[in-house]
Structure 1
Amino acid sequence: MALRLLALHGFGQNAEVFIQKRAKELIRKLKGTAVLHAIDAPHPLPYDANLRGWWLYGSDLWDGKAETIQALADTLLQRPSFRPEGLQESLSLVLTEWEKGYDGILGFSQGAILGAALCAELQRKGLPPPRCAVLISGFGKPVPEGVIFPSRPLPIPSLHIWGAEDDHIPAWASEALATRFEAAKTHAHGGQHFVPQKAADLNVVVDFLKSSLDPPAASPKPEKAAATKAGLPVSTRAPLPGLEELKNALSAYPPVKSCGQVHPPAAQPAETAAAVESTSYLPEELAPPGTGTYERLKALLGAASAEFSELGPHPPCRTSEDSVQVRLAGGWSDVTLHSGAKAMLLRTAAGTWLHTVLPADCKLSWKKVRALHGKGTRMATEEEVAAVTGCLPGAVPPLAAFPEKVMTVVDNTLPETINFNCGLRTRSMQMTRKMFESVQDLVFADIID
């Protein structure tokens, strides 16, 4: 008997579009092996109520227009997690649908990550897992808040497929999702962000599903709900605490010696280096990629006799919103989301590195950037950010004190006072824009929407 698969369509599609258009060739190829049953996601899209999403995005991430979906994807890829609107409603919907009796899951794009979340939720509840999962163009980074994977890979046979030329969800993001599954099978087709259409690629799916038709070998029983509660959540973020809670948290961190206005003597770089060497670091700051960029930045500012204020160590800031709360709790004024100097690393079509700086409440205009640096310009991966800048994502400073050469482009709207993480998520700096411009050669341009 053919497998019955629950099909979860992608963002901006619906069940009818997915079955009749996106997966048409796959369905033909699966005849006799599997039958797809697709359901509609519950959330209509702002620009077309006939098209659906398993979750939507806040106005801080997306303006609700079809033409900015690519920019949305590029923005999400620089984050470890994000807040999906309506995810729990969708998860409840597919859990109820799953009770109707399915053998496996087939998901595309947003539907693929929802399919993976369903697998994790079934295990958490101690329910029988799917016999198989086919996840096409899914992403394991960033992880939607509310999706909690167990600490160990899911013991579910899975096939993960992506397009080698996909500029919407790159291969590394799909590979990250595959790591959530035990002994996952992977396959890259030669196309972009779509369900593969060529026979050779479709045969990979057919062969995988045929293996699920055979009587399953004995496998570990799914963990019971009580046991899985001990699993560590992955890349989820608790709600931001209030200012009083942050002030209490700050008191647990030793004050940095150079906090306040600093005037290092330009003629004595050796003293500047010695001051950096004497800095007391937290264990988390010494973890890879380490403190190198922070130290190079301090030396750079010392050589330029730059005036700045420094705060830290403080609770780690992964987002611009976190940083505002922590800096206000630390006693700084002139701190708003707009005053945050957000740094983003891009890879240009020519293969060079572009270090962009813009106010934290603004969105990078991919249309403008790609008009200047080529259509293939993209967001750097987390691994590339660490290798090029020596920082974790979220810690990249607006001044290029990096181990690799980059070109720095600053948006014209940067305010008169700027705040930023300075190579570490646990330390912040504040300086005037005039001082910032005096430290390095910068290129100014209109790069925001």
Structure 2
Amino acid sequence: MSKAAVPLRILCIHGYRQNGSSFREKTGALRKLLKKQVEMVYISAPHQVPAVQNETNQMSSGGDEDQRGWWFSDVQARSFNAQQECESSLGLEESIETVKTAVKELGPFDGILGFSQGATLVAMLCALQEQKLEADFNFRFAILVAGFRSVCSQHRRFYEGTVITIPSLHVFGQDDHVIPEEMSRDLLPAFDGAQILIHPGGHFVPAASLHRQTYKDFLKKFE
């Protein structure tokens, strides 16, 4: 850590149907694991996700009252599916602006962490930074948990031409049925020298004691 022992500040980007508050709760174990090393700051996506109807035709919030998303793959239904191929998406530009505002008002940040749809957004933000298209982004590292390569045609620009050189740690579960391991692996070629942390679990941010050293070793390079 620096001479003043200032923790690394990380901007945290939640997954689909989460928000900043719920993601903060879900990453409590990670915050505890890294509390001496990092300060994690959480923001919410600008788009509210419509509640889903359950079998009894009741509107279900899935546990979180305020469900948010960074973009929708189905423009008409305002829904998102990581495996849904689409020509265009809805809401991505507003989400990029939301992150830019957070950087200006809550920053500076050393790094950025994203989960699931949020991790895919992080990859896009890193691409914009690499292409020098967004002067507001100056992240020194990125942690992507259950990330994937967007299959929306409109998003190809983030993966073509420029290899992302921002140091990155890619975390994915071997038993993840939401974003299968191969989808996360498909994102790796977009990053130069990507580091990997594989865990045996499912769709969550792993923070067991056996993962501590991998996170700490990665973060130590930026202290």
Q: TM-score range by the shorter chain?
A: 0.7 to 0.9
User: Match of 1:85?
Assistant: 90
Q: Say if 2:123 is the partner of 1:113.
A: no
Number of the residue aligned with 1:101: 108
- 1:177 aligned residue: 187
Q: Which amino acid aligns with 2:97?
A: S
- Residues 112 and 139 of structure 2 are in contact (CA less than 8 Å); yes or no, is this contact kept in structure 1? yes
Which has more radius of gyration? 1
**In structure 2, do the counterparts of structure 1 residues 96 and 88 end up closer, same or farther at CA, with 3 Å as the change threshold?**
same
- Distance in 2 (alpha carbons) for counterparts of 1:147 and 1:206: 33
The alpha-carbon deviation at position 85 of structure 1 amounts to 1.1
Distance (Å, rounded) in 2 between the aligned partners of 1:28 and 1:112 = 21
Within the alignment, does 1:46 sit opposite 2:53 as a pair? no
Name the % identity.
Answer: 35
Q: Is 1:57 aligned to residue 104 of structure 2?
A: no
In the TM superposition, residue 56 of structure 1 has moved relative to its aligned partner by 2.1
Conservation of the 8 A alpha-carbon contact between 1:196 and 1:202: no
| Aligned Cα root-mean-square deviation (Å) | 2.2
Deviations 1:306-351 (A, max 9, x none): xxxxxxxxxxxxxxxxxxxxxxxxxxxxxxxxxxxxxxxxxxxxxx
Query: Structure 2: where are the runs of 5+ without partners?
Result: 1-5, 52-60
Match of 1:160 in 2: 170
31, 36, 45: which is aligned to 1:32?
36
Shift of 1:126: 6.4
Work out whether residues 145 and 170 of structure 2, in 8 Å CA contact, stay in contact via their aligned partners in 1: yes
Whole-Å Cα distance in 1 between the matches of residues 164 and 170 of structure 2? Answer: 14
Tell me which residue corresponds to 1:191. 201
Q: 2:151 corresponds to which residue? A: 142
Aligned to 1:133, which of 142, 146, 149?
142
* TM-superposition CA deviations, 1:18-62 (whole Å, max 9, x none): 112x111000011121111010101111004611001123266x6
Partner of 1:93: helix, strand, or coil? helix
How many residue pairs get aligned? The number is: 201
| TM-score, structure 1 normalization | 0.42
Which aligned runs of 4 or more in structure 1 are off by greater than 3 angstroms?
Answer: 126-129
1:144–1:36: structure 2 CA closer, same or farther, 3 Å change rule? farther
Where in structure 1 are there 5+ consecutive unaligned residues?
Answer: 214-449
Relative distance call for 1:186 and 1:82 in structure 2 (3 A) is farther
Matched-pair contact (CA < 8 Å) for 2:75–2:89: no
- Tell me how far apart the structure 1 counterparts of residues 33 and 98 of structure 2 sit (CA, whole Å): 28
Greater relative CO, 1 or 2 (CA 8 Å, sep 6+): 2
User: SS at the partner of 1:140?
Assistant: coil
Matched-pair contact (CA < 8 Å) for 1:3–1:35: yes
Offset, 1:144: 6.1
The residue identity in structure 1 corresponding to 2:69 is: G
- Aligned with residue 129 of structure 2, among 113, 122, 125: 122
Aligned equivalents of 1:182 and 1:212: distance in 2? Answer: 17
* SS of 2:112 mapped into structure 1: strand
Report the 3-state secondary structure (helix = DSSP H, G, I; strand = E; otherwise coil) of the residue aligned with 1:212.
coil
Matches within 5 A, 1:11-410: 11-20=16-25, 22-47=26-51, 48=61, 50-58=66-74, 72-73=81-82, 75-76=83-84, 79=85, 82-99=87-104, 100-124=107-131, 125=133, 127=135, 129-143=138-152, 145-146=154-155, 148-149=157-158, 150-213=160-223
Rounded Cα–Cα distance in structure 2 between residues aligned with 1:83 and 1:126: 21
Which residue type is aligned with residue 17 of structure 2? G
> 2 CA distance for matches of 1:187 and 1:143?
26
* Residues 207/186 of structure 1: CA separation in 2 closer, same or farther (3 Å cut): same
Name the SS for the 1:161 alignment partner.
Answer: strand
TM-aligned CA deviation for residue 86 of structure 1: 0.5
- Shift, 1:122, TM fit: 2.1
Code of the aligned partner of 1:41: A
Per the alignment, in what secondary structure is the counterpart of residue 162 of structure 1?
A: strand
1:145 alignment partner, SS class: helix
Contact kept? 1:10, 1:109, Cα under 8 Å: yes
Letter in 2 for 1:15: G
Please report the TM-score for the alignment, with normalisation by the length of structure 2: 0.82
Q: Secondary structure at the match of 2:9?
A: strand
